[in-house]
Structure 1
Amino acid sequence: MNRRHDIDALRALAFAMVIVYHVGMYYVADWAWHIKSPHAAEWLQWPMRAVNLWRMDLVFLISGIAFGFLRRGLSPARLIGARSLRLLLPLAFGMAVVVPYQPYVQMLDQGLIEPGFAAFLGRYFTGGPWPKGAFAGSDVGVTWNHLWYLPYLWLYTVVLALLSPVLDSGPGQWLRLAFTRLRGAALLVLPVFPLMLYSFTLWPHFPPTHDLIHDAWLHAVYFTLFLYGHWLGVDAGLWAALRRLRWIALALAVGAFALHVGLRVTLAATDPGWRQVARLVADAYLWTSLVAVLGWAHHTLNRPWPWLAWANESVYPWYVLHQTLIIGLAVWLAPLAFGPWVEPALLLLGTALGCWLITDRLVRRVAWLRPLFGLRPRAQPPHPNPASPARPAGRSV
């Protein structure tokens, strides 16, 4: 099977979007985040919402596609073991080493602790206690902050791996074929219905928490999209259908978002019933956006880009590192008063540069660091045949 370069490229670009989005969270007014810029702007709310309504859904859908490749030829036990190592080891390392600076800065900004990162770490690693609401996870003493994606992905991987007999059964294959044979209007409409059902039944009662335990609505949405991705795989007919729908899906997504905005700023602002309608419109926007993204990616990205191999190995370490770098650079840049245009540009550039330096100059080169950032061991060059003539010193291969 030829490698699908568009899927690889889309994965890298989806995580790049996560980094840009988190830079935006520092500047968007009235949205809770760890720290906030004095240059926070209200106008950022709508472009941020336009991305927020589908960005992580795309990530989980792509993760479902990857799961489909991984489970080929592996028993559920081997699959769970391999994915546990790749997901839970970086999670543990990230929570212990990368993330703690984030709650330290957050509580320092709120005046809840005195300066001194070493003293904070001593208290952090013994579980606090912390004032209520000091940071996400303060009630249990520690946090995974932006790394919440890793335990969620691990959970969905375990569930779907254990369901392998069901997926491979007659009814399971029938359901997969029913999805992959969707075309035209059916492909634009039918996959939205489960998402709307969750909005009716779960969304009013389970606001997002990212704490794994109390996130029933997000679990339902993300697991469904993970399953959609697994079904989608590299089915040529379905990808061709997505490509044909790219313009229609884009137009529908723009229209759905405009309607969602209109409802949010008028009727939904005061009426819970219309707020529910706005949520259902957001589901339609979510799915049509994903159809548009997948269709356009298949149309434009399915080629062997020179940067793709580097990007595929860099995605995981960049994801682990980026938010701590954003917060650290924001603290450093704030007193320099560069203003509301230069400072965000420097923050984004500095985050990318920091991720590149740490990943390319350290993580990828140090064997014991690679698994801590989700990378496979570096391939070893084959041993020379002892019977073959030795190469002259200094000659390149």
Structure 2
Amino acid sequence: MQPTLPARRRHDIDALRALAFGLLILYHLGMYYVAGWPWHLKSPHEAEWLRWPMQFVNIWRMDLVFLVSGIAFGFLSKGGTPPWRLVGQRAWRLLLPLVFGMYVVVSYQAYAQAVDNGAVAPGFLAFMQRYLARGPWPRGAFDGSDFGITWMHLWYLPYLFVYSAALALLLPWLRGSAGLRLSTAFHSLRGWKLLLLPALPLLLYALLLAPRFPATHDLLHDGYLHPLYITVFVYGYLMGTNAGLWAELARLRHVSLAVALALVGLFFALRAMQMDVPWLLRALRTLYLWSALAAILGLAHRHLNRPWPWLDWANESVYPWYMLHQTLIIAGAVLLAPYQLGPQLEPAMLLAFTVGGCWLLTDGLIRRVRWLRPLFGLKPAARPAQQQRKPAGPVPVYLGSGE
């Protein structure tokens, strides 16, 4: 029997979840400015130097989000909830915000991109009448316009639902003898095995699938990203609260960080020297991905596993902030563009507009209005008596859990 961590709140996972989605805001802000990378809108102040830090983060940022989501799914499935009920809960917490987000939250993104492309005339109300009717649109009017409506950055929600539903339906097998052997084998990884063996399936996907299936985020045609993301999601589920594995990740945190920095340094050096050896670059990229994840998990477990005063607020704010932030970035970019603030002041003002807008809408409106809460993935507000009766214990952290 593998030891588990004590039954208490996993502050490190809570903090990682909040920080990962905070990084997402900065990353999408960077997409507006990074030179040569297509996005919904692009700034006249594009910067070549941004490619390096953006790629440094891009290689593992969404894998970290799916891995943390897998850890949290493991917490959610511990209570003996039947698989079919887990699927229903995930549908309510993920698909309801997705539908609301597609029709309401991201519609302005589609409008701004379509106007910028010259595909529609200015006038948001006229655009919304057409958008709610799902077009038709000129080809390439906005990302997803071929389907009449788009989910833009909310693609993570249907992906997470599919992975959660699949894993929920596999729970009887995972809780059986074969699943327990798999968990035991994963929990027993130590030293170099922990830094290499989980990377091998990811390396196989990178070498065999990535050249054939470019990223699409359209759910049905993502032949490389689906195996990648669902594998790290399952890794998160397998990690759970196993004390030995988490202690090993913490022990190896400096080694895994050094390995990750060496790999990404070599990757960037080869790119800078224009040494185009696709298989080698993909291999370095994938090995960096896993070593970076191992370093992040180990560092978080060592340094973040404490009751930070901001965690309760962050846990309830992260889902609405995730849904709102990209629309606010694009709205702020359109608002600020006529003032020609320059390449230093404009990004600072745009970040302030995005963060301020997320905070104002979430704390001032969404968290206070009962019927808005489920539309942004939050549970109904607990009454004071319910809060007093709430038992202590491990709290799952999961985009859509509302914890």
Normalised by the length of structure 1, the TM-score is: 0.94
Aligned mate of 2:259, from 246, 252, 255:
252
Equivalent-residue separation in structure 2 for 1:287 and 1:268 (angstroms): 23
Residue 36 in structure 1 maps to residue 42 in structure 2:
yes
Map of 1:393 onto structure 2: none
Q: Note the 1:259-278 alignment, pairs <5 A.
A: 259-266=266-273, 268-269=275-276, 274-278=277-281
SS of the residue corresponding to residue 114 of structure 1 reads: coil
Equivalent-residue separation in structure 1 for 2:269 and 2:384 (angstroms): 60
Map of 1:279 onto structure 2: 282
Equivalent-residue separation in structure 2 for 1:84 and 1:361 (angstroms): 27
For residues 238-264 of structure 1, the C-alpha deviation after alignment (integer angstroms, 9 at most, x for no partner) is: 111011111111111111111111223
SS of the residue corresponding to residue 110 of structure 2 reads: helix
Equivalent-residue separation in structure 1 for 2:278 and 2:138 (angstroms): 33
Equivalent-residue separation in structure 1 for 2:83 and 2:298 (angstroms): 31
Q: 1:172 to 1:268 in 2, by over 3 A?
A: farther
Equivalent-residue separation in structure 1 for 2:225 and 2:59 (angstroms): 12
Paired residues of 1:264 and 1:275 also in contact (CA < 8 A): no
Aligned mate of 1:18, from 19, 24, 28:
24
Corresponding pairs, count:
379
Residue 298 in structure 1 maps to residue 314 in structure 2:
no
Residue 122 in structure 1 maps to residue 129 in structure 2:
yes
Map of 1:196 onto structure 2: 203
Structure 1 residue 299: Cα displacement? 1.0
Structure 1 residue 267: Cα displacement? 5.0
Map of 2:394 onto structure 1: none
Equivalent-residue separation in structure 2 for 1:136 and 1:113 (angstroms): 14
* Residue ranges of structure 2 left out of the alignment (5+ in a row): 1-6, 387-403
Paired residues of 1:268 and 1:278 also in contact (CA < 8 A): no
SS of the residue corresponding to residue 31 of structure 1 reads: coil
Equivalent-residue separation in structure 2 for 1:29 and 1:382 (angstroms): 53
Q: Amino acid of the residue matched to residue 286 of structure 2?
A: D
For residues 65-96 of structure 1, the C-alpha deviation after alignment (integer angstroms, 9 at most, x for no partner) is: 11001112200011001111000000000001
Residue 213 in structure 1 maps to residue 220 in structure 2:
yes
Map of 2:154 onto structure 1: 147
Q: Amino acid of the residue matched to residue 193 of structure 2?
A: A
Structure 1 residue 235: Cα displacement? 1.0
Map of 2:369 onto structure 1: 366
Paired residues of 1:202 and 1:216 also in contact (CA < 8 A): yes
For residues 301-326 of structure 1, the C-alpha deviation after alignment (integer angstroms, 9 at most, x for no partner) is: 11100000000000000000000000
Aligned mate of 1:226, from 212, 221, 233:
233
Equivalent-residue separation in structure 1 for 2:369 and 2:275 (angstroms): 53
Structure 1 residue 134: Cα displacement? 2.1
Equivalent-residue separation in structure 1 for 2:209 and 2:82 (angstroms): 33
Residue 375 in structure 1 maps to residue 382 in structure 2:
no
Aligned mate of 1:163, from 154, 166, 170:
170
Q: Amino acid of the residue matched to residue 81 of structure 2?
A: L
Aligned mate of 1:326, from 311, 324, 329:
329
Q: Amino acid of the residue matched to residue 354 of structure 1?
A: G
* Residue ranges of structure 1 left out of the alignment (5+ in a row): 384-397
Map of 2:318 onto structure 1: 315
Q: Amino acid of the residue matched to residue 45 of structure 1?
A: R
Equivalent-residue separation in structure 1 for 2:293 and 2:384 (angstroms): 41
SS of the residue corresponding to residue 360 of structure 1 reads: helix
Equivalent-residue separation in structure 1 for 2:146 and 2:321 (angstroms): 28
Residue 54 in structure 1 maps to residue 38 in structure 2:
no
Please tell me the root mean square deviation across aligned C-alpha atoms, in Å: 1.1
Equivalent-residue separation in structure 2 for 1:135 and 1:202 (angstroms): 27
SS of the residue corresponding to residue 383 of structure 2 reads: coil
Residue 68 in structure 1 maps to residue 74 in structure 2:
yes
Q: Percent identity?
A: 61
SS of the residue corresponding to residue 370 of structure 2 reads: coil
Aligned mate of 2:112, from 99, 105, 117:
105
Map of 2:349 onto structure 1: 346
Paired residues of 1:101 and 1:324 also in contact (CA < 8 A): yes
Paired residues of 1:54 and 1:286 also in contact (CA < 8 A): yes
Structure 1 residue 113: Cα displacement? 1.1
Structure 1 residue 108: Cα displacement? 0.7
Residue 175 in structure 1 maps to residue 178 in structure 2:
no
Equivalent-residue separation in structure 2 for 1:136 and 1:29 (angstroms): 19
Equivalent-residue separation in structure 1 for 2:271 and 2:175 (angstroms): 43
Equivalent-residue separation in structure 2 for 1:381 and 1:266 (angstroms): 62
SS of the residue corresponding to residue 50 of structure 2 reads: helix
Moved over 4 A (4+): none
Paired residues of 1:39 and 1:339 also in contact (CA < 8 A): yes
Equivalent-residue separation in structure 2 for 1:10 and 1:360 (angstroms): 21
Q: Amino acid of the residue matched to residue 58 of structure 1?
A: L
Q: Amino acid of the residue matched to residue 121 of structure 2?
A: E
Equivalent-residue separation in structure 1 for 2:178 and 2:270 (angstroms): 40
Q: Amino acid of the residue matched to residue 311 of structure 1?
A: A
Q: Amino acid of the residue matched to residue 10 of structure 1?
A: L
